[in-house]
Amino acid sequence: MRRIVAVAAPAALVALLLSGCVQRESPAPSPSATATAGSSSPAPEPTLVPGGSAQDDLGYFDLVNNRLFASNGGADGRAIIDNLVSAGFDKTAMQVTPDKTAINGNVDSILFSVRIGESCLLGQHGGGGYSSSVAPGLAGGGCLVGKTRPIDW
């Protein structure tokens, strides 16, 4: 029996020594200090991009409109257009639908647009809230289909 123990002991010692050479997985890297998910500094507010596309200005369009509707949920077409003009958008490139129906009732929503190049910023505000998108401009130069009101103020 001594022989078996004598052979088993060195084999166990070799196995123990070799176990230290086994490659182990590295620990998962810890998040870096520049990670944005937990960053405490807010993203900068969007701004109007002079010479930019409608897509470039969509974030700013939304910011300007959301601020207006947060302070004046019942804003009419004139207030919407005036707000966009004061934010730097080109009044001559805008369209807005009427505030009243043909029989002088209140409309469910107001649609408004700003043409920028070949594309349009489209906005809609009403009982369902505010929504926006970018779409190709119409062949006639406008953005909205249907009746719009003159922006003559």
Neighbours of 87 (CB within 10 A): 17
Closest CA to 146 of 99, 82, 96, 92: 96
Please give the model's pTM, rounded to 2 decimal places.
0.73
pLDDT value of position 33: 44
Please check whether residue 122 is in contact with residue 66, taking contact to mean a CB–CB distance below 8 angstroms.
no
pLDDT value of position 129: 96
pLDDT value of position 24: 42
Please check whether residue 98 is in contact with residue 147, taking contact to mean a CB–CB distance below 8 angstroms.
yes
Helix 77-86 and helix 54-71, axial crossing angle in degrees, nearest 10: 120
pLDDT value of position 90: 98
pLDDT value of position 101: 93
Which residue ranges in the chain fall short of pLDDT 70?
1-39
Closest CA to 85 of 48, 52, 140: 48
Label the pairing between strands 129-136 and 109-116: unpaired
Please check whether residue 143 is in contact with residue 122, taking contact to mean a CB–CB distance below 8 angstroms.
yes
Q: What are the Cα distances from residue 111, in Å, to 34, 53, 93, 145?
A: 41, 20, 14, 10
Domain ranges of the chain: 54-136
